[in-house]
Amino acid sequence: DPKIIQKPKYLVAVTGSEKILICEQYLGHNAMYWYRQSAKKPLEFMFSYSYQKLMDNQTASSRFQPQSSKKNHLDLQITALKPDDSATYFCASSQDTGAPISNERLFFGHGTKLSVL
Amino acid sequence: AQKVTQTQTSISVMEKTTVTMDCVYETRDSSYFLFWYKQTASGEIVFLIRQDSYKKENATEGHYSLNFQKPKSSIGLIITATQIEDSAVYFCAMRDLTGANTGKLTFGHGTILRVHP
């Protein structure tokens, strides 16, 4: 059974619309992340949360807003969608050890592939 | 700024041979962690192996091992006795103090590995 559930798996949206990408993890981790994978670009870090608090935001646009209603949830709301937002969005989690940096691995969900027309 | 470079776009090998994938990184920090992940054809991203910068010995995990050359800022992935199912995209990633308290990973562009029977 997948330990990190992302919904939906595929998503088609029209330019200017708003969508929410869902992520739930059942690994008992306290840190969650969003990464984006676009064509010809490496996996890009977007956000990190620890104990439901935003730790880092590397997205340039406020159109991307993470939402954490529970410790094991980290949804991603995207407003005013643009064709350039087309990508696969991966949710990930890890155990936050509290150290400034740690060697904890990330566990990834299967991704939500977003296509904006 | 931190940077991870994988110069090999794709590699093709015959089954049961050994393959090495290159990765060089840039960081100003003396302490950092290096990771290799694999992305299968289904899109799943899986952790393979990790190297802590303060450890001199190369990490090994099953038929994966690392060639860590700290003076060259290089962390090569070695896969021995390759199997068809090793065909995937392999990503090198780094976490340094730039990602302090955030868990951020910086990824390379990836190397496509094709294993032929």
Across chain B, which has 117 residues, the per-10-residue mean pLDDT values are: 92 97 94 95 95 95 96 97 97 86 88 97
Which chain A residue is nearest to residue B49, measuring alpha carbons?
Answer: A105
Which chain B residue is nearest to residue A31, measuring alpha carbons?
Answer: B103
Per-residue pLDDT for A1 more than 80?
no
Pull the structure tokens for residue A8. 């939906």
When mean pLDDT is compared across A92-96, A108-112, B37-41, B46-50, the lowest value belongs to: A92-96
Transcribe B43-111 into DSSP letters. --EEEEEEEETT--SPPEETTEEEEEEGGGTEEEEEE-S--GGG-EEEEEEEE-GGGTTT---EE---E
Per-residue pLDDT for A56 more than 90?
no
User: What pLDDT digit, counting tens, does each position of A26-53 carry?
Assistant: 999 999 999 999 987 889 999 999 888 8
Q: Do A101 and B42 touch (CB under 8 A)?
A: no
Pull the structure tokens for residue A85. 């937002």
Pull the structure tokens for residue B7. 């110069």
Note the pLDDT of residue A100.
66
Among candidates B43, B96, B105 on the partner chain, residue whose Cβ is nearest the Cβ of A106:
B105
Query: A96: which chain B residues are within 8 Å (Cβ-Cβ)?
Result: 103
Q: Do A41 and B109 touch (CB under 8 A)?
A: yes
Per the CB < 8 A criterion, the answer to whether B33 and A101 are in contact is: yes
Residue of A43, A50, A90 for testing the chain B interface, max B β-carbons within 10 Å: A43
Note the pLDDT of residue B98.
75
Let me know the angle formed at the C-alpha of B92 by B91 and B94, rounded to the nearest 5 degrees.
Answer: 135
% chain A with pLDDT above 90: 72
